[in-house]
Amino acid sequence: MEALPKVTQAELLERIKSGKYMLFFSADWCPDCRFIKPAMPEIEAEYSDFTFLAVDRDENIDLAAELNIFGIPSFIAYQDGKELGRFVNKDRKTKVEVEKFINELPVTAK
């Protein structure tokens, strides 16, 4: 998973304007983030039509606030720069819950 450097919302939107992206907001100190991280390579492989981007919430605190990310770990899916859906709350997330979220996204075929 590629780590997204510190970016503004405008820079992020320019980066994800074409294609399918999954933003994974987390932080090193977050125990619930550490809980889901071991499952992320398998989730990435299963949903290879998405480009997964790891977003360090602390490094991108302004971006997180602009995107209303107030709990981590959190996920936001985009297609061609438009938000498809979000799995954002303060709860621990399991692999099954993340897969359910992705499976229920209104993704258009490309």
**How is the chain split into domains, by residue range?**
2-103
Q: How many residues does the chain have?
A: 110
Residue 108 — pLDDT band, cuts 50, 70, 90? low
CATH superfamily of 2-103: Glutaredoxin (3.40.30.10)
The residue from 22, 23, 30, 43 that is catalytic is: 30
Verdict on whether the full-model pTM lies above 0.75? yes
Q: How much is the average pLDDT of 89-107?
A: 90
Whether 33 is catalytic: yes
Whether 30 is catalytic: yes
Q: Using CB atoms within 10 A of its CB, is residue 56 exposed (0-12), middle (13-18) or buried (19+)?
A: buried
Query: Would you state the pLDDT for residue 17?
Result: 95
Please write the tens of the pLDDT for every residue from 42-88. 999 999 999 999 999 999 999 999 999 989 999 999 999 999 999 98
